[in-house]
Homo-oligomer: A and B are copies of this chain.
Amino acid sequence: MLTLPKGYRYAAGYAGIRKVERDDVGLIVSERAAEAAGAFTTNVVQAAPVKLARKHLEQTGGKAQAIVVNAGNANCATRTGAAAARETVKAAAKALGIPASRVLPASTGVIGVEMEAARIVKILPELAKGLSPDRFEDVARAMMTTDTVIKTASQEVELAGGVVRVAGMTKGSGMIHPNMATTLGFVMTDASIEAKHLRPMLRAGVERSYNRLTVDGDMSTNDTMVLMANGASGVTPSRAERDVVAELVGWVMEDLAEQIARDGEGARKLIVVRVLGARDEAAAVRIARAIGNSPLVKTAVAGSDPNWGRILSAAGASGVEFDPRKVDIDLQRVAVCRGGVAAEFSEAEMKKKLDAEECRIRFTIRGGGTGQARFWSCDLTEKYIEINASYRT
C-alpha cells in the first residue's frame, strides 16, 4: 500500500505516441508551486525535454508545479525536438493555468524519430480535467516502456511538526547504467523544504540508488530524476529533521532502483552485490559495479552456475588493486571461495539455491579497509536479446 504525499494530483491517457493502445502520457501536478531539484543524464547526446527541464529549473531557481511525461518516443536526435518539447509544455501550462516555466517535460522511448507533439497537446486539456490524487499508479504505468510491472515506492515519518510523506515512481528496464541519475524517476514529498536543500538530498539519494544499478551498462539520452517538495503537509522539517527526510528519499530511491533491476529486460533474477573490505567506498563501488556489469557473471547467474571464478575475474578487472589471496566470495550466503581459491561446497546444492529469484553475491577482502557498497543488477537471459533485437519492430 502506497502512502501518498498530500497536495499532488495525477492523470494519464493515450495520445497515440506508442503504437499499442496503452496510456503513453502522464501528468503529475502539485496544487501549489513546489520546490524542486533535478538530476539529468550526463550523455553528451541529450534529448530535447532534458534540455528544457534543466532550463526551466534554472529559470525558476528550483520551482516546479507539473511534470508531463510520455513514453513511446524519446524526442531525442530529432529535427523538431526542441519545438515539440516547448509545445507540449506550453499546452500543459495552459491546461493547468500555470506558467510554462513551472512545467518539466520528460520523454522515453525510441531515439531519432520525430515526435508528433500535437498528439500530446490534443489530450492535455482532458488529462487536466481528469487529475486525481488517486491516479499515482496510472502515471507510473503510462511511462513504462519494456517494463513488465509498474515501479512505485513510498515512506512516511512523523516529525515534530507532524507527518510527512515521500512517494516515487520510476520506469526502465533496459539502457540502465550505473554512473548517473538513470532512467526517469519522480519523487514527491509534502514536506516543506527549499530547493537549495532538495538538491543535496537528490544527489545523495541518486548516489546510493540509481548510481548503483546496472542492467546492461548502457546510458540513456533521456535520464531525468526530479524531486519535488510542495509543503502541503504543513510541516517544515528542522535542520536535523531534514536528514531524516533525506534518508526517506534515499529509501524510496533504493526501493525504486531495486525494482528496476528486478524488472531488468529479460531478467528472471535480481542480483544484489555487496562488497566489503575495500580501501574506501569508491573502490567498493568500482568492484561491485564490475561484478554487476559482467555479462559472464550475469549469464552464470541465469544458468544457476556457481561460477565464482568469473566473479573474481570481473573484480580483478575493475581497476582496483587487491590481493586475490585475501578474497572470500559467498553466493546465497554459502562460502564458495575462501582466500582466493575454491571453498568446499556442494555444487548440486548451490545450483538449487541459485534457482531462487534473488542472487546474493558477497565479495569480501579480508583485512582490507572499511569501504563497502551495495549494487543491484540482474541476470542476463535469452529474453534480453529477444526484446532488444526487435524493439522497434
A residues in contact (CB < 8 Å) with B: 42-46, 74, 76-79, 110-114, 174-175, 177, 216-221, 293-296, 299-300, 302-303, 305, 307-310, 312-317, 320-322, 324, 337, 340-342, 380-382, 384-386, 388-393
Contacts and interface: CB of A to CB of B under 8 A. Distances in A.
A175 B296 contact: yes
Nearest to A217: B295
B77 A296 contact: no
B45 A316 contact: yes
Contacts of A316: 43-46, 219, 221
A103 to B, nearest CB: 25
Contacts of A342: 77-78, 112-114
B78 A313 contact: no
A44 B313 CA distance: 8
A174 B390 CA distance: 24
A381 B385 contact: yes
A218 B313 contact: yes
B296 A216 contact: yes
A158 B152 CA distance: 70
A305 B385 contact: no
Given A312-B77, A341-B77, A44 B320 contact: yes
Given A217-B217, A388-B295, A45 B305 contact: no
12 contacts: A43-B313, A45-B313, A112-B312, A112-B341, A218-B296, A218-B317, A219-B316, A299-B385, A299-B388, A303-B391, A305-B390, A382-B386
Contact of A389 (B111, B177, B218, B305): B305
Contact of A324 (B77, B307, B391): B77
A341 B79 contact: yes
Q: Which of A220, A307, A320 has the most CB of B within 10 A?
A: A307
Contact of A391 (B78, B218, B307, B381): B307
